[in-house]
Amino acid sequence: MSSWTVPPDLTNAYAALVADLRAIFGTRLTTLVAFGPRLRSGAAISRSHGAALGDALGLIDRVTYNDLVACAPYADGWRRSGLHMPLLLGRDEFVRSLDAFPLEYDDIIANHVPLLGQDPFAGIAVSPEDLRRGCEVRAKGHLVHLREGFLEARGRAEGLAELILVSSWALSALLGNIARLEGFPGASVADRAAVLARLDRAAAASIARVLALEAEPVLSADEASRLYPEYLAAVERLVAYVDGWTRR
């Protein structure tokens, strides 16, 4: 598991969530973990990325309509405290969905902070092929987004700067996914650097520049015009790499 921690401003919110869900589910709640971008050490999180709120996953025996009714009165309080609505799943449902949501669930398994329950994901893992397929879908989707974004911006430098800036968080998440495919935890800068080392120098340099925007989101129009074609070519190489990936 990574070294992610609960940020101080969400400590009370998560403690209250534990108490609330225990009151609702009692011993039926076997696992509760915090996860998501807010937990990444040193991450620059902005509301423009839709990542300012904390995330949590709770595993119970099964989720019923009556459970949702019981949770509903707490929803406003959870949101006011800085949390998204908790993801509530039956444990068997979670396991059976690993192939449907390989990137999302593998990220939770690899990078989380336990709030309730010991070693909650023991014996649970996403298969390498499901993870590879998920990375392929995400990488190709990123490429399509960059192409469509160029047209939406009419090729104008200011629009390209915004497109590249907004894409930096998604690119960082994609590199983390690929890092886990390669056997790294995926949460650290070093993990992402290990992925870049598998690409040619030009592609690695372009992707590294975009990743740097996550921490310092400043990009001039002139630089965006120069960077965009290099970035697009780099993502094409990244797609080809994931498409042809084989387990070592």
pLDDT digits (tens, 9 = 90+) for 171-226: 998 998 999 998 887 667 788 888 899 899 999 999 999 999 988 999 999 999 99
| Rounded (10°) CA dihedral 74, 79, 83, 88 | 40
Query: pLDDT for 110-151, tens place per residue?
Result: 889 999 987 789 889 999 999 999 999 999 999 999 999 999
What pLDDT score does 50 carry?
A: 43
What pLDDT score does 84 carry?
A: 96
What pLDDT score does 217 carry?
A: 93
What pLDDT score does 89 carry?
A: 97
Task: Compute and round to an integer the Cα radius of gyration of the chain.
Answer: 19
At residue 248 the predicted structure's pLDDT band, cuts being 50, 70 and 90, is low
At residue 2 the predicted structure's pLDDT band, cuts being 50, 70 and 90, is low
- pTM here is 0.81
Find the largest Cα–Cα distance for the chain: 58
Handedness of CA 240, 244, 246, 248 (dihedral sign): negative
CATH of 8-116, one of 3.40.50, 1.10.10, 3.30.460, 2.30.31: 3.30.460
Query: pLDDT for 44-79, tens place per residue?
Result: 444 444 446 899 999 999 999 999 999 999 999 999
- Looking at domain 128-243, its CATH architecture is Up-down Bundle (1.20)
Which of 160, 147, 164 has the alpha carbon at shortest distance from 221? Answer: 160
Hey, what amino acid is at 102? P
Query: pLDDT for 145-164, tens place per residue?
Result: 999 999 999 999 999 999 99
More confident call, 25 vs 48: 25
What pLDDT score does 48 carry?
A: 40
Compute the average pLDDT of residues 36-43.
Answer: 67
